Structure 1
Amino acid sequence: MHILRTDSTNIDFQKLVKSLDAVLAKHNGENDGFFAQFNTIYTLKNCVVVYIDGIPTACGAFKPFSEDAVEIKRMFTHPEFRKKGLGSAIVKELENWASELNFKKAVLETSQDLKSAISVYEKSGFYRIPNYGQYVGIEQSVCYEKGL
């Protein structure tokens, strides 16, 4: 496994995000437009792509959320490579990178129905917090936080 730190101009990152968006569009149904507006990747400076035997298999990113916090975004593992610890590896790499940049905590939002994603975040030490920002009042959303 090789983890590449990159930005959102990386073609492999863009392809993985396209797959993620297709999965989320199906999952979110008629609410997809609401969530999609918060998931653009045009200016993400902190992205990672996981390669296994040269194949791009998983990705994730973060963006500044506040002066001392980042928001983890665009987490995805190709279905053929799930259950191999890639999600946890991405979270750890993103946390390390954010910490190197002197951020003190990370937040994220996911769907209450994405149990495997929630499992990765909770195993990584994230704890549930009240929904923040645009996710306040959105029943489908669950938000998490972790100190770095």
Structure 2
Amino acid sequence: MIKLIRTNSENEDFINLVKDLDSYLKITDGEEHDFYNQFNSIKTLKHAVVAYFKNQPVGCGAFKKLSQSSVEVKRMYTKEDARGIGVATEVLNELEHWAKEQNYTSTVLETGLRQTEAVQFYKKNAYQVIPNYGQYIGVKNSLCFEKKLKDEKR
């Protein structure tokens, strides 16, 4: 069973998972890594989720306020040996619920075209491709997504 905790960017497990993510992205992003990395500081993230499987930290994600109505999903990562068991979906769902609790109505995010697993993951989770926003405007390797957060009847 996957256990999730809500935390912030000071959480040691979150910090270590982000280090793993950055190592992965350094390879995937290649020469563009420094450009992307400048937008990925975790110092001020107040909304982070860490996923645990068998009491080990295996995944994470976070969001930050982008506007009055939307947040930007950041630092999504699942350790390679924990992929395929639903960690990323659980983390993303928790981030979306948390954003709705804070009265946000949409989430946006950016991922790289070379991160094909991430692109497919966001599409599978009802994210729609949007024009690149903010610092990603005109960046050929960037693909931006948005998801409208709806109230769900349980």
TM-score, normalised on structure 2? 0.94
- The CA distance in 2 between the partners of 1:110 and 1:31, in whole Å, is 13
- Counterpart of 2:123 in 1: which secondary structure? helix
Q: Which moved more, 1:7-16 or 1:23-32?
A: 23-32
Counterpart position of 2:53: 52
| Aligned counterparts, 1:1-148, within 5 A | 1-148=2-149
CA deviation map 1:11-59 (0-9, x unaligned): 0000000000011011111211110000000010000000011100000
- Counterpart of 1:144 in 2: which secondary structure? strand
CA deviation map 1:54-74 (0-9, x unaligned): 100000000001111000000
- The CA distance in 1 between the partners of 2:87 and 2:119, in whole Å, is 14
Counterpart position of 2:152: none
Q: One-letter code of the match for 2:86?
A: G
Q: One-letter code of the match for 1:55?
A: Q
Q: One-letter code of the match for 1:83?
A: G
Runs of 4 or more above 6 Å deviation:
none
Please, what is the CA RMSD of the aligned residues? 0.6
- Counterpart of 1:59 in 2: which secondary structure? strand
Q: One-letter code of the match for 2:121?
A: V
% of aligned pairs identical?
Answer: 45
Q: One-letter code of the match for 2:35?
A: F
- The CA distance in 1 between the partners of 2:101 and 2:122, in whole Å, is 20
CA contact (8 A) 2:28 2:115 kept: no
Q: One-letter code of the match for 1:105?
A: S
Q: One-letter code of the match for 2:90?
A: A
Q: How many residues align?
A: 148
- Counterpart of 1:72 in 2: which secondary structure? strand
Q: One-letter code of the match for 2:56?
A: I
Give structure 2 stretches of 5+ with no counterpart.
150-154
- Counterpart of 1:119 in 2: which secondary structure? helix
Q: One-letter code of the match for 2:101?
A: E
- Counterpart of 1:61 in 2: which secondary structure? strand
- The CA distance in 2 between the partners of 1:93 and 1:123, in whole Å, is 16
